[in-house]
Amino acid sequence: MKLRISASSLAGTLLCLCGSAAAESSVAVYGVVDAGLTWESERHRAGSSTSLVSGGNSASRLGFRGSEELGKGWKALFVLESGFSLDDGALGQGGLLWGRKSFVGLSGPYGTLTLGRQDSPLYDYAAPMDPLSGALAFTRIFTQASKYRRDNNTIKYASPTLGGFKGQLAYSFGETAGTSASGRLLSAGLNYTRGASSSSLSMQNINSQAVGNNGIKTIRLVNLGTRYDFKVAAVSLMMQTNKSNEGAKAMDSRDFLAGVSVPLGAHKISASVMVHKDRKQSSGDARQLALGYTYGLSPRTHLYGGIAHISNNKRARFGLASLAEGGASDGSDPMLYTAGMKHIF
């Protein structure tokens, strides 16, 4: 349920007395509260852990979305969205108040232009291809897309849909004195949707701080995905290339995903297999298998459960849940079970 507040009710009445029309405006309050239990183990290292976590299926959040009609098909808009941990009340995204999204913009017949902190085009188009996207346990192989999913100081343009095609372009200013390249981000994406099929191609170029004598560190991501909904099941395929010039830590890898989602009335079963192929580091490959289940108590309240397992080669260290990339030990094979509840408002 969304709460809508009309800002023009009283003003419109008064303006009508003067023969003027008030612009229609509204604000919606929305969010997700999600909590669950997880049990995770990491083979090749003693011990396991049981935790109450937030965001086992979807990240908990509180947001405000508003718009004002300006006439002739134009409107002003804004979004303020805060992430938080339901288990302890802490702010997410490093403690930022509006860490998930904070932007303002204009939308009209020629597209939408927004300014602020927002998701990248690559993430916008890649995430729908993953049947378990957003789940805490199930998106760890495609870490580069998740790590750079949003950025500050961003100008973003989203085109209208023309003949099934739509696109996005985003540029983030590094705001570093003396150089325009450090901290800069450029991302673009193109999507084609026709009937039950949807395909997208997107890229992202991230410039970071100088690395030794190598100058500005550059990370380049290219993502290609496709999804087809057969009604009885939706099938998706995705591939991503990851490259960087970080000296001895330079990255050159390929990620692959195959997924399926099967709706059965109030039930939904989703599964995916992901493969990470490291072309730079010997024995850096990894594979992830995941199975998820949701049951809709209502359109807004869901119970969920899932299992995920990662097989790391001896130099790979992908993890699950709290064992994010770099958190697992080299060559370990973490496994996670989760069950919880999500409410959308």
Contacts of 181 (CB under 8 A, 6+ apart): 174, 207, 216
Q: Looking at the domain 3-8+33-344, which fold is it? A: Porin (2.40.160)
CB-based burial of residue 317 (10 Å sphere; 0-12 exposed, 13-18 middle, 19+ buried)?
A: buried
Of residues 210 and 285, more confidence is placed in 285
Q: What is the pLDDT of residue 208?
A: 74
pLDDT at 51 over 90: no
CB atoms within 10 A of CB 167: 21
**104, β-bridge pairs:** 78, 115
Q: What is the mean pLDDT of residues 291-297?
A: 96
Q: What is the mean pLDDT of residues 130-141?
A: 68
Nearest to 156 by CA among 166, 145, 167, 171: 171
Residue 2: pLDDT band by 50, 70, 90 thresholds? very low
Whole-angstrom Cα Rg for the chain: 22
CB-based burial of residue 152 (10 Å sphere; 0-12 exposed, 13-18 middle, 19+ buried)?
A: middle
**Domain segments of the chain as ranges:** 3-8+33-344
Task: Report how far residue 79's alpha carbon sits from residue 69's, in angstroms, rounded to the nearest whole number.
Answer: 15
Residue 320: pLDDT band by 50, 70, 90 thresholds? confident
Q: Are 191 and 200 in contact (CB under 8 A)?
A: yes
User: Which residue carries 């380049």 as its tokens?
Assistant: 220
Q: What is the pLDDT of residue 244?
A: 86
Dig out the tokens for 61 from the structure: 């959040």
Question: For the whole model, what pTM was predicted?
Answer: 0.83
Q: What is the mean pLDDT of residues 71-80?
A: 97
Question: First-to-last CA distance in the chain?
Answer: 5
Task: Report how far residue 273's alpha carbon sits from residue 262's, in angstroms, rounded to the nearest whole number.
Answer: 15
DSSP letter at 40 equals E
**253, β-bridge pairs:** 242, 278
Q: What is the pLDDT of residue 148?
A: 75
Q: What is the mean pLDDT of residues 121-142?
A: 78
Residue 65: pLDDT band by 50, 70, 90 thresholds? very high
pLDDT, one tens digit per residue, over 179-191 is 666 778 999 999 9
pLDDT, one tens digit per residue, over 83-94 is 999 999 999 998
Q: What is the pLDDT of residue 7?
A: 43
Residue 19: pLDDT band by 50, 70, 90 thresholds? very low
Q: Are 130 and 172 in contact (CB under 8 A)?
A: no
